[in-house]
Amino acid sequence: MAELEVRNLTKRFGKTVAVDDLSFSVEAGRVTGFLGPNGAGKTTTMRALLGLVRPSEGEALVEGQRPVAMKEPLRTVGAALEATAFHPSRSGRNHLGVLAASAGIPRSRVEEVLEMVELSGAANRRVKGYSLGMRQRLALAAALLGDPRILILDEPANGLDPQGMRWLRDLLRDQAAAGRTVLVSSHLLSEVAQTAEQLVVIRNGRLVAEASLDEFTTGPASQMRVRASDPERLATALQGKGAGIDRDGDGALLVRDLNGEEIGDLALASGVAIYELAPLHSSLEERFLEVTGEEPVG
Amino acid sequence: MRLVRSELLKLRTVRTTWTMLGIGLLAEALFAGLYVGLVSLDDVGPIDEVLTGTGLLMLMLLVLGVLAITTEFRHGTASTTFLAEPRRYPVMAAKLAAVLLMGVVAGLAYVVVNGGLALPLFESREGSLPASGDIVSVYAGVVASFALLGTFGLGVGAIVRNQVGAIIAAFAFFFVLSSLPELLPGDIGDYFPAQAVGSLHGLPEEGLSQVMGGLVLAGWSLGLVLVGTLLIRHRDLNE
């Protein structure tokens, strides 16, 4: 059973369809990156998994249950949704204290998580005076408070400095290595690429890819670069087998939809010598733009 | 119980709560001292005398009741709250309990200030103090009204959600609606919230008994909380 499962989830706000028949699942023990351009429906999906938003259709399940049925919510799922959701005149320590009280978590755990996110020094200051990075850390501390089996983090890297980013990556990796489930959203692929093993990519509320990072980068749209003695004859033969052909400036063929073996066999059969045959992996960024059809953001 | 503790902590850990209650109590002390100490006693009844200056604290509790819920939406902390307890009813019940308790505590503080200041001053000026049984029941009415006004605010806040809008709406009930009964036939006006508060305080000019006034105000307050809770149950939390 997947720890998190989204099944045919549709969410409409008035006439706007934020999430459209979306299905995917998230397994324990690895970091899953949840990607998509801004406005793709990531936050709404995460909120549905947390029981904050009611699905119009379909369901969002946590450990096989609807989120409102969770026995000990904070010990099951920890979430950091946005770095601005604090009462500005409450201190960081008290924010966590309020949350701890409602879940019956001991006060000592508040100090522990403050230590973990390196906010102990500023814990008595009112959140009003926190930088974005500090708020982000406080949101993470709140997520970690119940020592949960599942972490759901919405754009947790926003506002973190490079040192903070590294700290976050280590944290996510450690959590996943400890067998926990980690779902991290981002609109920046590069951020997620360094920690995520699994990717869920959505666009306009629909799933466009659910794959491991490796599968994603070497996905079906990747090409083979072929230099041959008679490119035109080879191209005709390849097209006859249904391959898509592009040409680069040097007279080499860029072949889609056939693998190296098939190209080699065809070349032999049509009497063309092959000088060079190399797989071209798209970069992660290219793949992301390819599947989401968007300009990079940020 | 955990949820109630959490809600009480929310009230205690923001400065607004203390500032507003502090100002209310200070104003009460000031009014009681000045008014009872200086003004001619013949113009009003003894109970009105004793209750001098209660109005500001009543407003403070009304507003604090509103804030107990609207700040959660304004600052987006509602999401966090409902992460710890995704079921909406228990959270609203805990807010209700916390606001009631805050009203009782503020009411007791009021009794200490008023009893320690207004009563002796009143007596020293040889005013005819109401019977001590009456004073106790007036004070009990004040404590109950504070708790119920906070509840009233909570209900309006849960329905309106927008902070400024909710405060205006709550005030409208007491300032705009309170002048309406004069235009209405019969004693319908006795059942308006502002008039019910008066009855609950034992003011002789109001039409209902103290207990009846309390029940009417409780009906308004709990009714609003109930409506607000039903609305919140189906609301998506997107902020």
Residue B239's closest chain A neighbor by CA? A85
The tokens of A30 are what? 């690895």
- The predicted structure's pLDDT at residue A38: 86
Among the partner residues B3, B76, B87, nearest to A82 by beta-carbon distance: B76
pLDDT band at B54 (very low <50, low <70, confident <90, very high): confident
- The predicted structure's pLDDT at residue A298: 38
Choose between B116 and B220: higher pLDDT: B220
Cβ-based neighbours of B226, under 8 Å, separated by 6 or more: B155
Edge-to-edge order in the sheet of strand A244-247? A244-247, A253-256, A223-228, A274-280
Residue A50's closest chain B neighbor by CA? B83
- The predicted structure's pLDDT at residue A280: 76
pLDDT tens, residue by residue, A115-168: 999 999 999 999 999 999 999 999 999 999 999 999 999 999 888 888 889 999
Q: What is the DSSP letter of B176?
A: I
Gyration radius of chain B's alpha carbons: 19
Q: Is the dihedral of CA B70, B72, B76, B79 positive or negative?
A: negative
Distance CA A24, CA A1 (A): 12
- The predicted structure's pLDDT at residue B119: 79
The H-or-E segment that residue B99 falls in is helix B88-124
Q: Following DSSP, what letter does each residue of B108-152 receive, concatenated?
A: HHHHHHHHHHHHHHHHHTT--PPPHHHHHHHHHHHHHHHHHHHHH
Of all residues in chain B, the percent with pLDDT exceeding 70 is: 92
pLDDT tens, residue by residue, B168-217: 999 998 888 877 777 777 788 888 999 999 999 888 778 889 999 999 99
Q: Tell me the nearest-neighbour CA distance from A251 into chain B, angstroms.
A: 54
B83/A47 CB distance under 8 A: no
| A77 inside 8 A of chain B by CB | yes
ipTM exceeds 0.95, yes or no:
no
B198: helix, coil or strand? helix
Q: Tell me the nearest-neighbour CA distance from A139 into chain B, angstroms.
A: 10
- The predicted structure's pLDDT at residue B128: 66
Among the partner residues A53, A84, A99, nearest to B238 by beta-carbon distance: A53
CB A102 within 8 A of CB A73: no
Cβ-based neighbours of A284, under 8 Å, separated by 6 or more: A189, A190, A193, A213, A216, A217
pLDDT tens, residue by residue, B114-173: 888 877 877 777 666 677 778 889 899 999 999 999 999 999 999 999 999 999 999 998
Q: Which of B105, B108, B132, B120 is nearest to B33 (CA)?
A: B120
Beta bridge partners of A255: A224, A245
Beta bridge partners of A198: A32, A212
Beta bridge partners of A244: A256
A53/B9 CB distance under 8 A: no
Among the partner residues B14, B86, B238, nearest to A68 by beta-carbon distance: B86
B13/A70 CB distance under 8 A: no
Kindly list the residues from chain A whose CB atom is less than 8 angstroms away from the CB atom of residue B70. Answer: none
Distance CA A244, CA A238 (A): 8
- The predicted structure's pLDDT at residue B130: 72
| A183 inside 8 A of chain B by CB | no
Among the partner residues B75, B83, B234, nearest to A79 by beta-carbon distance: B83
B77/A51 CB distance under 8 A: no
Those of residues 98-117 in A touching chain B at CB distance below 8 A are 98-99, 101-104
Kindly list the residues from chain A whose CB atom is less than 8 angstroms away from the CB atom of residue B163. Answer: none
Q: Which of B6, B82, B83, B234 to mutate to test the interface with A (most CBs of A within 10 A)?
A: B83
Interval B54-82 mean pLDDT: 94
Q: Is the dihedral of CA A207, A212, A216, A218 positive or negative?
A: negative
How many CB atoms are closer than 10 A to CB B182? 7
A91/B13 CB distance under 8 A: yes
Q: What is the DSSP letter of B32?
A: I
B40: helix, coil or strand? coil
Answer whether residue B60 shows pLDDT above 90. Answer: yes
Q: Which of B3, B73, B76 is nearest to A154 (CA)?
A: B76
A94/B13 CB distance under 8 A: yes
Distance CA A12, CA A40 (A): 13
Answer whether residue B46 shows pLDDT above 70. Answer: no
Strands (E), A36-171: 57-62, 77-80, 150-154
- The predicted structure's pLDDT at residue B39: 65
Choose between B34 and B142: higher pLDDT: B142
- The predicted structure's pLDDT at residue A241: 86
Which residue type occupies A34? F
Kindly list the residues from chain B whose CB atom is less than 8 angstroms away from the CB atom of residue A97. Answer: 9, 13
CB A163 within 8 A of CB A61: no
Kindly list the residues from chain A whose CB atom is less than 8 angstroms away from the CB atom of residue B234. Answer: 54
Most confident of B38-52, B103-117, B184-198: B103-117
Task: Find the chain B residues whose C-beta atoms sit closer than 8 A to any C-beta of A.
Answer: 2-3, 5-6, 9-10, 13-16, 71, 75-77, 79-87, 234, 236-239
How many CB atoms are closer than 10 A to CB B204? 10
Kindly list the residues from chain A whose CB atom is less than 8 angstroms away from the CB atom of residue B5. Answer: 101-102
The tokens of A3 are what? 């720890």
Tell me whether strands A253-256 and A4-13 are parallel, antiparallel or unpaired.
unpaired
Q: Tell me the nearest-neighbour CA distance from B195 into chain A, angstroms.
A: 35
Kindly list the residues from chain B whose CB atom is less than 8 angstroms away from the CB atom of residue A104. Answer: 2
| A56 inside 8 A of chain B by CB | no
- The predicted structure's pLDDT at residue B139: 92
Cβ-based contacts under 8 A for chains A and B:
89
| A84 inside 8 A of chain B by CB | yes
Q: Which of A12, A68, A87 to mutate to test the interface with B (most CBs of B within 10 A)?
A: A87
Strands (E), chain B: none
Beta bridge partners of A253: A226, A247
Among the partner residues A50, A53, A90, nearest to B83 by beta-carbon distance: A50
B71/A87 CB distance under 8 A: yes
- Alpha carbon dihedral B197, B203, B209, B215, in 10-degree steps, equals 10
Interval B18-35 mean pLDDT: 89
Among the partner residues A67, A77, A81, nearest to B79 by beta-carbon distance: A81
Q: Which of A233, A232, A226 is nearest to A262 (CA)?
A: A226
Q: Tell me the nearest-neighbour CA distance from A248 into chain B, angstroms.
A: 48
Angstrom distances, CA of residue B77 to CA of A83, A99, A111, A139, B73: 11, 10, 21, 11, 7
- The predicted structure's pLDDT at residue A256: 83
Alpha carbon of residue B17 to chain centroid: 13
Ranges in chain A, pLDDT < 50: 296-298
B14/A89 CB distance under 8 A: yes
- The predicted structure's pLDDT at residue A281: 66
- The predicted structure's pLDDT at residue B49: 67
Cβ-based neighbours of B188, under 8 Å, separated by 6 or more: B181
- The predicted structure's pLDDT at residue A294: 55
Strands (E), A101-170: 150-154
Answer whether residue B45 shows pLDDT above 70. Answer: no
Angstrom distances, CA of residue B137 to CA of B76, B84, B141, B203: 41, 41, 6, 11
Q: What is the DSSP letter of B67?
A: H
Cβ-based neighbours of B238, under 8 Å, separated by 6 or more: A13, A44, A47, A52, A53
